[in-house]
Amino acid sequence: MDDRAFPQEEREDLKERYALATERIRQIGGEESVPLPYRDYFRRMAAFILEMDRTLADTGSGARRNWSLEELKRHNRALYEDILPENYGRSYANPAYAAQALGEERGRLLSFLCAEIRGMIVYAYEYRLEDMVILCELFLEVYNRFEEENLPSYRELREILYWFVSDYTDRTVSYRVREQVDPSLSFAADIIREADLSDVRYLYAFGEYISENELATARFLNTLSEEEIAGMARTFTEGYRMGFVKAGKPLERKTSVNIRYTLGFERIVRQAMANFEEMGLSCILYRAAVSSVNRRGQAKTGYVGGNPNKQYDYDHREDSAIYLDAPFVERKLGVLRASYEAYKELARGHAGPAVMETFGETPFVPEAKEACFRLSRRQQKLSVRYDSEAGRLANTYIPGEERSFTIIAYPIQEIGEDYESIFRDTVRVNTLDYRKYEAIQQRLVDALDRAAYVEVKGAGDNRTDMRIQLWRLVDPSRETVFENCVADVNIPVGEVFTSPVLTGTEGVLHVSRVYLNELKYEDLELTFRDGWVTDYRCGNFPDEEEGRRYILDNVLFHHESLPLGEFAIGTNTTAYAMGRKYGIEGRLPILIAEKTGPHFAVGDTCYSWEEDVQVFNPDGKEIVARENEVSALRREDPSKAYMNCHTDITLPYEELGALTAVTAEGERIPIIRDGRFALPGCEELNLPLEELQSLGKEAKKP
């Protein structure tokens, strides 16, 4: 629903405010009332806003439907041209350039304003006139202050921006909550249902940046048969349905599902929508947030297009430092609480997300810039507190014990010349026979259930030396420590996992290269004591402290430390062999990478908010290791029990020397030795590795 659905009186008021604002902005290009060097900034921002005005008019008239593919490409590039890598060095959206051109203090704030104004692309395409008006009026308020005899100080300018964010939280946060639970906000869903997907021009209807990746995906999917598309959609939606079945959760009580994906996959998504609707679920597709108040770092949750510049996202990941204080946190939490209450019936019917990830992009290593805003230690604590309270509110209105999810991944063209072969091999990996893995993994679970702890040691230059303490079973005939995970919510098949006991879990986890939360890490090392991270480093930056800050921001998410929430053993050697065959190990998403070796997750356990829900393995045994010493605090104070993050770090087979289960009596049970499964009954898992070696691919590097 766009703002044209407002009551007539409100709509007329918005139109009048918008007309007055845009008329004033049209005059800026010819004015010299603002001193140099700020004049260029305001002229460029005014020109961008007027381009958004034309885009809004085209949305209202439907003019873009008649444009050629080349016209749409040119227009799309023009919208995002300012932040493309080749232009970003002289863009006011770049905090470093803005600080250099406009002065460090004012420049940083004006760069934030530039980033907020760029959100108008989305508002113009969705015809969200109120959001357009708000940003136009903010821009004019700032411009007027620069017209005065005395330029606004940093404090005065920051206050304008602070109150803009705070005053409109009622609109921005409330709308975001509604987007997540209300199927009637159907902008993207309508495009997918109604477009001619054989004509790739439809991609430009979303207002997202369209790169060659999205175009290539859509074109490739158009070469596949209806049967192939239906098969991929069925794997996706059946995994979701089976998540409810296996957990004993009644899907029939739910009314909606959220689909998150990257543009280009609409043929699969359209069929998935039909499948979900047959289950009685309305499909919600909301866009990744564009306003600072609704973003969390550089992560994007929702549907997305191509990324015009990851450095731009990274530069603005902590823009909330401008306004994040205790009163603002209280205000935002109050709005969030009121919003969930307003949409509580829709929220109660929400079944959870169905996520389709992509992989294959060139690993991104960001540049650290002094000009970027950074949260202070006090603000980091406030951010952690907000995330904790927001997570608790979400769980109150969308209870964890009643919802589920599924997640699957496919490659994009950027992965290289073997794209189509990799895509087809990924489909094969996603549809492996789970019954075969279930039987083999049960042997692993049975052996691990005998252990008091597990030792994991690296091979060669890998410095990993970890001891993972395990739950003690009271009744081994009815209880188990590890979950036998096959392909339902977490596709593809291939892992056994547990929530470790923190006390006694210690050592060093080291990975030479890993890709976490869309960021690349070199020589990542975490040290644990009693299950908590006590030290960390990486080799991304010459300055070791910058590397520590990188981990603090993007792995620890501003927590002073995080517990080890999960220990798992990946068994999908077919996926591993695929990565080695094409030299793409470093580009596999964590969803697949976690199945290609033992992995360790820092943050919450896999059973976060669902610890009291009984879960059983296929053999009928109850999985009792559903909590640790941290999540157990939920009974006293939920704010201390959850970290609201969970990051998997995989130690690949080639860096693994030994993984050994050790019993209380000291018996040592080899699980993996020298990168091969050593437990009797698991020999079949080594076949893809041996086949790979026989083909001479073992040493191929990404």
Fill in the amino acid letter for 27: Q
Identify the H or E element spanning 406. strand 406-411
pLDDT reported for residue 698: 45
Give, as one character, the DSSP assignment of residue 368. Answer: P
Burial of 415 (0-12, 13-18, 19+ CB in 10 A): buried
- Per the listing, tokens 């629903």 go with 1
Q: In which residue ranges of the chain is pLDDT below 70? A: 1-9, 487, 696-702
Pair type for strands 453-458 and 350-359: unpaired
Give, as one character, the DSSP assignment of residue 310. Answer: H
Burial of 694 (0-12, 13-18, 19+ CB in 10 A): exposed
CA distance 392 to 530: 26
Read off the tokens for 702: 């990404």
Pair type for strands 598-603 and 622-623: unpaired
CA distance 693 to 681: 21
| Cis ω before 492 (30° cut-off from 0) | yes
CB 168 within 8 Å of CB 116? no
- Helix, strand and coil percent figures for the chain, each rounded to 5: 50, 15, 35
For the chain, the C-alpha Rg in angstroms (whole number) is 26
CB 485 within 8 Å of CB 495? yes
Burial of 587 (0-12, 13-18, 19+ CB in 10 A): buried
pLDDT reported for residue 683: 94
Helix (H, G, I), strand (E, B) or coil at 598: strand
Residue 104 zone, left/alpha/beta (φ > 0; ψ -120 to 50; rest): alpha
CA distance 384 to 505: 25
Give, as one character, the DSSP assignment of residue 256. Answer: E
**What's the number of CA atoms in the CB half-sphere (13 Å) around residue 358?**
25
CA distance 314 to 367: 9
- Per the listing, tokens 């392909």 go with 487
Residues in Cβ contact with 90 at an 8 Å cutoff, skipping those fewer than 6 apart: 97
Nearest residue to 169 (alpha-carbon basis) of 332, 382, 59, 392? 332
Give, as one character, the DSSP assignment of residue 684. Answer: G
CA distance 431 to 434: 8
pLDDT reported for residue 699: 40
Bridge partners, residue 506, by sequence: 467
In 160-273, beta strands by DSSP E: 256-260
CB 233 within 8 Å of CB 268? yes
pLDDT reported for residue 9: 65
Cα–Cα distances (Å) from 233 to 181, 240, 265, in that order, read: 22, 11, 10
Crossing angle between the packed helical segments 38-61 and 95-102, to the nearest 10 degrees? 140
pLDDT digits (tens, 9 = 90+) for 274-292: 999 999 999 999 999 999 9
pLDDT reported for residue 71: 97
- Phi, psi of 246, rounded to the nearest 5 degrees: -65, -30
Cα-based angle 596, 601, 607 (whole degrees, multiple of 5): 110
pLDDT reported for residue 702: 38
- Phi, psi of 349, rounded to the nearest 5 degrees: -85, 0
CB 222 within 8 Å of CB 264? no
Cα-based angle 355, 361, 365 (whole degrees, multiple of 5): 110
pLDDT reported for residue 434: 86
pLDDT reported for residue 487: 65
CA distance 472 to 449: 8
Helix (H, G, I), strand (E, B) or coil at 299: strand
pLDDT reported for residue 410: 97
Residues in Cβ contact with 633 at an 8 Å cutoff, skipping those fewer than 6 apart: 640, 641
Bridge partners, residue 603, by sequence: 646
pLDDT reported for residue 416: 94
Nearest residue to 295 (alpha-carbon basis) of 273, 270, 275, 314? 314
